[in-house]
Amino acid sequence: MKMMKKITLIAIGLLISVSSSIAIADAKSDAVSACGAAENARKAAAQAKMEWTTTGKLIKAANKAIEKGQFDKALSACNKAKFEGETSVKQAGIELLAWNSRVPN
């Protein structure tokens, strides 16, 4: 009976340990993937000559957070950075047409 109890406890412990490792790996993978997408968006903004000063800083901070194992923080920062990069590219597209409307005549 005692033996059965021990085996059950060990099995539960192993299960918890494996599932939490999987969760951590998933969180890290999500963060790394989000930061890759954010970096691509930043590069597109730079290519359109419309990069914001804030985007690179967010990605840099997120990469540091990944090193520290703070994956939720990294994911959030990189999602924001991706949004900024994409918005910068849209801004560049809008301005290609809009700038001329501000020229006095």
The residue ranges that bind other proteins (CB under 8 A) are 44, 46-54, 56, 84, 89-100, 102-105
For other proteins, give the closer residue by CB, 41 or 65: 41
CA-to-CA distance for 89 and 26, rounded, in angstroms? 30
For other proteins, give the closer residue by CB, 29 or 54: 54
Report the SS3 class of residue 58: helix
Query: Rounded to the nearest whole angstrom, what is the least distance from the CB of residue 32 to other proteins in the complex?
Result: 24
How far apart, in Å, are the Cα atoms of 59 and each of 24, 34, 63, 68?
Answer: 20, 10, 6, 14
Structure tokens of 68? 């520290």
For other proteins, give the closer residue by CB, 5 or 102: 102
Query: Rounded to the nearest whole angstrom, what is the least distance from the CB of residue 90 to other proteins in the complex?
Result: 8
- CA-nearest of 66, 78, 87 to 24 is 66
Query: Rounded to the nearest whole angstrom, what is the least distance from the CB of residue 83 to other proteins in the complex?
Result: 11
